[in-house]
Structure 1
Amino acid sequence: MTEVLKNSWALLLGVMLLMVGNGLQGSLLGVRGGDAGFSAFSMSIVMAGYFAGFLLASRLTPGMIRRVGHVRVFAALGSFISAVLILYPAFPHPIVWTIERMVIGFCYCGVYVTAESWLNNASSNENRGQALSAYMIVQMVGIIAAQAMLLIPDSSGFLLFVIPSVLVSIAFAPILLSISPTPAFDTTRPMSLLELFHVSPLGMVGMFLLGGVFASQFGMAAVYGSEAGLSLAQISTFVAAFYVGALVTQYPLGWLSDRMDRRVLVMAVALVGGVAAALAVTLSGHFTVLLAAAFLIGGASNPLYSILIAHTNDFLGTDRMAAASAGLLFINGLGAIAGPLISGYAMQTMGPGGFFMLISALMLGLTGYAGWRMTRRAAPQADDIGAFAAVAPTGSMVAVEVAQEAVIDAQEAAEAEMIEAARAEAEAEDRLR
Structure 2
Amino acid sequence: MLKVITGTWPLFLGIMFLQVGNGMQSTLLGIRGNLEGFGTFQMSLVMAGYFVGFLFGSRLAPEMIRRVGHVRVFAALGSLLSAVVVLFPALTDPLFWGIGRIMVGFCFSGIYVTAESWLNEAAENENRGKALSLYIIMQMVGLITAQYLLVLGDPSGFILFIVPSVLISLSFAPILLSVSPTPAFSTAKPLSLKQILKISPLGCIGMFMLGGIFSAQFGMVPVYGTEVGLSIVQISTLVSMFFIAPLILQFPIGWLSDRMDRRVLIFFGALACGFGGILAVFMGHVYGFLLISALMIGGMSNPLYSLLIAYTNDFLEHDDMAAAAGGMVFINGLGAVVGPPITGWAMGVVGPSGLFMYIAFMSFAMAGYAAYRMTQRAAPVADDTDLFTMMTPTSSPMAVEFAQEVVIENAIEEQEAADAIKE
TM-score by length of 1: 0.97
Query: Could you tell me which amino acid in structure 2 is paired with residue 214 of structure 1?
Result: F
Distance 1:285 1:46 in 2: 26
Report how far residue 182 of structure 1 moved.
2.8
Asked if the contact 1:19/1:143 (under 8 Å) is kept, the reply is yes
Alignment partner, residue 287 of structure 2:
287
Distance 2:155 2:292 in 1: 32
Count of matched residue pairs: 423
**1:208 correspondence with 2:182:** no
Distance 1:362 1:52 in 2: 20
Report how far residue 188 of structure 1 moved.
1.3
Alignment partner, residue 299 of structure 2:
299
Q: Matched residue of 1:298: which SS?
A: helix
Alignment partner, residue 40 of structure 2:
40
Alignment partner, residue 2 of structure 2:
2
Distance 1:239 1:156 in 2: 19
Distance 2:334 2:212 in 1: 8
Report how far residue 382 of structure 1 moved.
2.5
Asked if the contact 2:306/2:392 (under 8 Å) is kept, the reply is yes
Residue pairs, 1:309-388, within 5 angstroms: 309-388=309-388
Query: Could you tell me which amino acid in structure 2 is paired with residue 420 of structure 1?
Result: A
Report how far residue 181 of structure 1 moved.
3.9
Query: Could you tell me which amino acid in structure 1 is paired with residue 263 of structure 2?
Result: R
More divergent stretch after superposition (154-163 vs 345-354): 154-163
Alignment partner, residue 30 of structure 2:
30
Alignment partner, residue 104 of structure 1:
104
Distance 2:123 2:203 in 1: 28
Alignment partner, residue 220 of structure 2:
220
Asked if the contact 1:117/1:182 (under 8 Å) is kept, the reply is no
Distance 2:217 2:272 in 1: 16
Query: Could you tell me which amino acid in structure 1 is paired with residue 349 of structure 2?
Result: T
Asked if the contact 2:31/2:155 (under 8 Å) is kept, the reply is no
The CA deviation string for residues 315-372 of structure 1, in whole angstroms up to 9 with x for no partner, is 1110001111211100000000000111111111110000000000011000000000
Asked if the contact 2:262/2:307 (under 8 Å) is kept, the reply is yes
The CA deviation string for residues 209-254 of structure 1, in whole angstroms up to 9 with x for no partner, is 0000111111111111111111111100000000001111111111
Q: Matched residue of 1:352: which SS?
A: coil
Report how far residue 37 of structure 1 moved.
1.0
Distance 2:155 2:345 in 1: 32
Distance 2:350 2:314 in 1: 41
Gapped runs of 5+ residues in structure 1?
424-433
Q: CA RMSD in A?
A: 0.9
After superposing on structure 2, the runs of 4+ consecutive aligned residues of structure 1 that deviate more than 3 Å are none
Residue pairs, 1:129-148, within 5 angstroms: 129-148=129-148
Asked if the contact 1:271/1:364 (under 8 Å) is kept, the reply is yes
Distance 1:50 1:378 in 2: 39
Distance 2:222 2:127 in 1: 37
Asked if the contact 2:32/2:156 (under 8 Å) is kept, the reply is no
Distance 1:26 1:3 in 2: 34
Residue pairs, 1:89-100, within 5 angstroms: 89-100=89-100
The CA deviation string for residues 95-136 of structure 1, in whole angstroms up to 9 with x for no partner, is 100000000000000000000000000001111100000000
Q: 1:215 to 1:179 in 2, by over 3 A?
A: farther
Alignment partner, residue 14 of structure 1:
14
Report how far residue 194 of structure 1 moved.
1.1
Residue pairs, 1:127-166, within 5 angstroms: 127-154=127-154, 157-166=157-166
Asked if the contact 1:21/1:165 (under 8 Å) is kept, the reply is yes
Distance 1:179 1:210 in 2: 38
Query: Could you tell me which amino acid in structure 2 is paired with residue 232 of structure 1?
Result: I
Report how far residue 195 of structure 1 moved.
1.0
Distance 1:135 1:412 in 2: 23
Distance 2:276 2:218 in 1: 17
Alignment partner, residue 431 of structure 1:
none
Query: Could you tell me which amino acid in structure 2 is paired with residue 64 of structure 1?
Result: M
Over alpha carbons, which structure has the higher Rg?
Answer: 1
Alignment partner, residue 172 of structure 2:
172
Report how far residue 155 of structure 1 moved.
7.8
